[in-house]
Amino acid sequence: MKTEAVIKQTEDALLQVYSRFPVAFDHGEGMYLYDLDGKEYLDFGSGIGVMALGYGNKKYNSALKAQVDKLIHVSNLFYHVPLANAAQKLIKASGMDRVFFTNSGAEAVEGALKLAKKYANNKNKKNYNIIAMEDSFHGRTTGAVAVTGHEEYRTPFAPLFDNVGFAKFNDLSTVSALIDKNTAAVILEPVQGEGGIFPATAEFLEGVRKLCDENDALLIFDEIQCGMGRTGYMFAHQAYGVKPDILLSAKALGCGVPVGAFLCNEKAATMTRGDHGTTYGCNPLVCTAVDTVLDIFDQEKIVEGAKKNGEYLWKKLDEVKAKYACVCDHRGMGLMQGLQFDGVSAIDVVKAALAGGLITIAAANNTVRFLPPLIASKEDIDEMVVRLSKAIESVVAK
What pLDDT, on the 0 to 100 scale, is given for residue 312? Answer: 98
Could you tell me which residues are beta bridge partners of residue 188?
221
Assess contact for 164 and 116: CB atoms under 8 A: no
Give the separation between CA 250 and CA 234, rounded to whole angstroms: 13
- Using a cut of 0.85, tell me whether the model's pTM lies above it: yes
User: According to the model, what pLDDT value does residue 95 have?
Assistant: 97
- The amino acid present at 58, given as its one-letter code, is K
Give span(s): CATH 3.90.1150.10, the chain: 3-57+301-397
Cβ proximity of 343 and 395 under 8 Å: no
CA 52 remoteness from chain centre: 11
**Residues 116 and 246: beta-carbon distance below 8 Å:** yes
> Can you spell out the DSSP letters for 315-361?
HHHHHHHHH-TTEEEEEEETTEEEEEESSS-HHHHHHHHHHTTEE-E
Closest-CA residue to 387 (of 344, 357, 367): 357
Return the closest-CA partner of residue 218 out of 180, 249, 245: 245
Q: What is the pLDDT along the chain (398 residues), one digit of tens a residue?
A: 899 999 999 999 999 999 999 999 999 999 999 999 999 999 999 999 999 999 999 999 999 999 999 999 999 999 999 999 999 999 999 999 999 999 999 999 999 999 999 999 999 998 999 999 999 999 999 999 999 999 999 999 988 887 999 999 999 999 999 999 999 999 999 999 999 999 999 999 999 999 999 999 999 999 999 999 999 999 999 999 999 999 999 999 999 999 999 999 999 999 999 999 999 999 999 999 999 999 999 999 999 999 999 999 999 999 999 999 999 999 999 999 999 999 999 999 999 999 999 999 999 999 999 999 999 999 999 999 999 999 999 999 98
Query: Would you give the DSSP letter of residue 155?
Result: G
For the domain 3-57+301-397, what is the CATH superfamily, name and number? Aspartate Aminotransferase, domain 1 (3.90.1150.10)
CA angle (157, 158, 163) in 5-degree steps: 130
Give 206: exposed, middle or buried? Use CB within 10 Å, 0-12, 13-18, 19+: middle
354 with 366: CB under 8 angstroms?
A: no
List the beta strands (DSSP E) in the chain: 25-29, 32-35, 40-43, 98-102, 129-133, 164-167, 183-188, 191-192, 198-199, 218-222, 246-249, 260-264, 327-333, 336-341, 358-359, 361-363, 367-370
**Euclidean distance between CA atoms 61 and 38, whole angstroms:** 22
Q: How confident is the model at residue 161, as a pLDDT?
A: 80
What pLDDT is recorded for position 159?
87
Q: Which residues touch 270 (CB under 8 Å, ≥6 apart)?
A: 115, 118, 119, 122
CA 364 to chain centre: 15
Chain region(s) in the chain for CATH 3.40.640.10: 71-299
List CB contacts of 198: < 8 A, sequence separation 6 or more. 135, 169, 170, 191, 192, 331
How many Cβ atoms sit within 10 Å of the Cβ of residue 288? 28
CATH of 71-299, one of 3.30.1330.10, 3.30.70.260, 3.30.230.10, 3.40.640.10: 3.40.640.10
Concatenating the DSSP letter of every residue in 21-64 gives -S--EEEEEBTEEEETT--EEEESSHHHHT-TT-B--HHHHHHH
User: What distance in Å separates the CA atoms of residue 116 and residue 128, rounded to the nearest whole number?
Assistant: 10
Q: What is the CA radius of gyration of the chain?
A: 21
40-43 vs 98-102, strand pairing mode: unpaired
Contact present, 358 and 391 (Cβ < 8 Å):
yes
CA pair distance 84, 89, nearest whole angstrom: 9
Angle at alpha carbon of residue 111, lines to 107 and 112, rounded to 5°: 115
